[in-house]
Amino acid sequence: MTAAFDMERVREIARSAGDEPVTMVNMLRFRDRASYDPGCDATPCSGRDAYFERYASVSTPLVMAAGASIFWLGSVVGHVVSPAEERWDDILLVQYPNFGAVQRLFENPAYQAVVFHRSAALQDSRLIAARSIPIPAY
């Protein structure tokens, strides 16, 4: 599972990404049941509910306060070109003013207080930073 953030990697990307807008591509595969650490008092629920009702309900206002905009969320209808074992449920695209805003979000104590719901919710994930480039004219 790749839900945890490597903050050293985040800092490296922030140093090299510059001050241009960046889109974060979130590829999400939910657990059937959220998987919380022993001793956590969270009520059992689906991974999807843990992600949207517990994590995103708190993290979205923090994302927006960072100057970001959530501009696309979709459910995957099929995997045309991918390894057979790779399966995604939802894709989420969030545009930030720059990667520094992403780093500040991840370092925000309010965000850190809820990110465990993201980890509990997801069986697998990818979080990819991308910069817009011109589409070639043909």
Kindly tell me if the per-residue pLDDT of 1 is higher than 90.
no
**What structural domains does the chain harbor?**
7-77+88-130 (3.30.70.100)
Torsion of CA 24, 83, 8, 127, to 10 degrees: 20
User: pLDDT, tens digit, for every residue of 76-132?
Assistant: 999 999 998 899 999 999 999 999 999 999 999 999 999 999 999 999 999 999 999
Model-level pTM? 0.91
| Of 97, 94, 98, 86, residue with least CA distance to 125 | 86
11 or 4: which carries more pLDDT confidence?
11
User: pLDDT, tens digit, for every residue of 53-79?
Assistant: 999 999 999 999 999 999 999 999 999
